[in-house]
Amino acid sequence: MLIHICCAVDSHYFLQKLQESYPKEKFIGFFYDPNIHPYSEYYLRLLDVKRSCKMLGIELIEGEYDTNNWLEAVRGLEKEPEKGARCAICFDRRFEVTAKKAKELKEKTFTSTLLTSPKKSLKQLQQTGDILADKYGISFLAPDFRKASGTQEQNIMAKEDRLYRQDYCGCLFGLTMQREEQQKLADELFSPISKQIQPESIEERIELYEKRMGYEEDNIKYRVVKERFLNWRMEFGQLRVQKETIPAHFLPYSTIRSEYSRGRIDYSIENLHYLNRDEIKFISLDRYNLLLETNYETIMQLSFNPPSFNTELKLRKILITNNYDLSTIIVTEHIPTKKVEVFLKSHIYEDVKEVIYEI
């Protein structure tokens, strides 16, 4: 039996129920989800599915991440709500590719872990599966593992086996609508040109879950705990001197009252230069290199290959002893002597992240 897998939280429970119901059946997992955005989120879910299948002794096949074809298929349906017309097309596409793969592998039956997702319509999924089963001359299995407290069991199992619990379906359009309704920043879609890994980003989660897999392979005891903290994201930052854009690097947790400020350097204390407005401060690239023991020759080098986020946080603490400071700190090759303009849009917000500890 070929089983389309959407994520580990749904599949882990679903697969175990199938193993109980069909003890003589051989199962093959098929991870085909081009609807998941961004790619880092897709990779993170695949990573967790691989771990789940390994725990359950189930073979796993990865399908093609043909996201451009998926986007073309749902064109014009970007504003559809979840369980609407876009979802129907999304299910149809993933189910059809799964049915084709089952036929190719000479499997007589296919099914999907989407059937156990509490946010999906069981009736809608079964109709799609039955139509495709007739088309390809195979069977579609649609067990209802949600009934009899199945959803509660699924959640308990996911917690016990420490699965990755995503908080959106995976779709770009579903994510943006969900975050708008929640009045939250869609920080999953932020991807700095510097490739610096941001706190509680998908990339940081990937690092954590890869580390967890390493611990498990080496039989090292660990615990993943949640911590509440103040997060930060920058959408854009620009420095202009006499209307000319100057290369500049903004340190983490830089904020200003509005998105624009202008002024002149008023004074300096220990090579930290203070603008006469909005608590904006400057340091030179030479000072940056000295304090962090780096050797960047240009701001462009720094911007495209910066040290880690935590390293730059340490620099903030060296420059400003106040742990709660949110001043904008800008690194430039030369400290401006003329009037400057600063454009900055950044976000400060409460957040929760997972941290792994060896025990």
Residue 198 lies in a domain: no
* In a domain? residue 207: no
CATH number of 125's domain: 3.40.50.620
Q: How many whole angstroms separate alpha carbon 6 and alpha carbon 29?
A: 10
Residue that has been written with the tokens 């879910």 in this structure: 45
- pLDDT at position 94 is 94
41 and 132 inside one domain: yes
Residue 208 lies in a domain: no
Are 173 and 233 part of one and the same domain?
no
17 and 163 belong to one structural domain:
yes
Domain membership of residue 213 (yes or no) is no
- Domain shared by 176 and 234, yes or no: no
Q: Let me know whether 106 and 171 are in one domain.
A: yes
Whether 355 maps to a domain, the answer reads: no
Do 274 and 330 share a structural domain? Answer: yes
Are both 143 and 64 inside the same structural domain? Answer: yes
pLDDT of residue 306: 97
- What is the average pLDDT value for the chain, to the nearest integer? 94
Same domain, residue pair 244 and 137? no
Residue 345 shares a structural domain with residue 240: yes
* Distance from C-alpha of 178 to C-alpha of 172, rounded to nearest angstrom: 10
Which of 157, 184, 211 is the last residue in one of the domains?
184
> pLDDT, tens digit, for every residue of 42-52?
999 999 999 99
Total tally of structural domains belonging to the chain: 2
Q: Which domain holds residue 138?
A: 2-184
Is this structure's pTM higher than 0.75? yes
User: What's the pLDDT at 273?
Assistant: 98
Q: Is residue 218 part of a domain?
A: no
Let me know whether 79 and 167 are in one domain.
Answer: yes
Residue 90 lies in a domain: yes
**Which pLDDT tens digit goes with each residue over 100-111?**
999 999 999 999
Query: Is residue 253 domain-resident?
Result: yes
Q: What is the number of helices (H) and of strands (E) in the chain? A: 11, 14
pLDDT at 113: 93
pLDDT tens digit sequence for 282-315: 999 999 999 999 999 999 999 999 999 999 999 9
Q: Three-class SS of residue 59?
A: strand
> In whole angstroms, what is the distance from residue 353 CA to residue 348 CA?
15
Q: What is the mean pLDDT of residues 48-72?
A: 96
Tell me the β-bridge partners of 5: 31
- Region 259-270: mean pLDDT is 96
Same domain, 35 and 141: yes
Does residue 194 have a pLDDT over 80?
A: yes
CA neighbor of 281 nearest in space, from 263, 295, 257, 293: 263
Identify whether residues 234 and 169 lie together within a single domain: no
Give 195-242 pLDDT, tens digit per residue.
999 999 999 999 999 999 999 999 999 999 999 999 999 999 999 999
